[in-house]
Structure 1
Amino acid sequence: MKIIDEMLNLALLSADQHQQISAWMAHADTPEDILKMPAPLWRAVERASEIMGIDDDLMRPPSLDADDMVCL
């Protein structure tokens, strides 16, 4: 939900889209239920994700030189 909120704050989603997506996610019991979100809402999330570079962040390998990294 935090990412959806950020999309709204960056004006990548309208208030109506944010409300509809948030409501859909709140009532989804499983990830499969989320995947059943209406296509126009998915397209809005995909566009916002692309602009935010979310896929790029997920594909980037983890930084092994992080100062605060804890190895267990």
Structure 2
Amino acid sequence: MKTIDEMLHLALLTSDQHHQISAWIAHADSPEDILNMPPLLWRALEQASAIMGVDKDLLRVPTFEADNGIV
């Protein structure tokens, strides 16, 4: 839900879209239920995701640097 909240904050979703998408996700029992979101909401979510580069982040290979503080 944090990503959807960020989409609202960046004005990529209207408050109504944010509310409807959040409610849909909250009541979904499975990932398949989320995929059955109404087309207008799904398109709004896809557009906001594209602008934010969500897919690029998910496909990016993580970098492992020795100086990152993780042991």
What TM-score range do you get, normalising by the shorter chain? over 0.9
Correspondences of 1:1-72 after superposition (within 5 Å)? 1-65=1-65, 67-70=68-71
Distance in 2 separating the partners of 1:44 and 1:38: 10
SS of residue in 2 equivalent to 1:62: coil
Which residue type is aligned with residue 68 of structure 1? G
Which residue type is aligned with residue 16 of structure 1? D
Q: Where has structure 1 moved over 6 Å in runs of 4 or more?
A: none
Distance in 2 separating the partners of 1:31 and 1:58: 17
TM-score by length of 1: 0.91
Aligned length: 70
Distance in 1 separating the partners of 2:29 and 2:70: 34
The percent of aligned pairs where both chains have the same amino acid is 66
Deviates more, 1:54-63 or 1:9-18: 54-63
User: Could you list the runs of 5+ residues in structure 2 that have no partner in the other structure?
Assistant: none
User: Could you list the runs of 5+ residues in structure 1 that have no partner in the other structure?
Assistant: none
- When the two chains are superposed, the root-mean-square deviation of aligned CA atoms in Å is 1.0
Distance in 1 separating the partners of 2:54 and 2:5: 14
TM-score by length of 2: 0.93
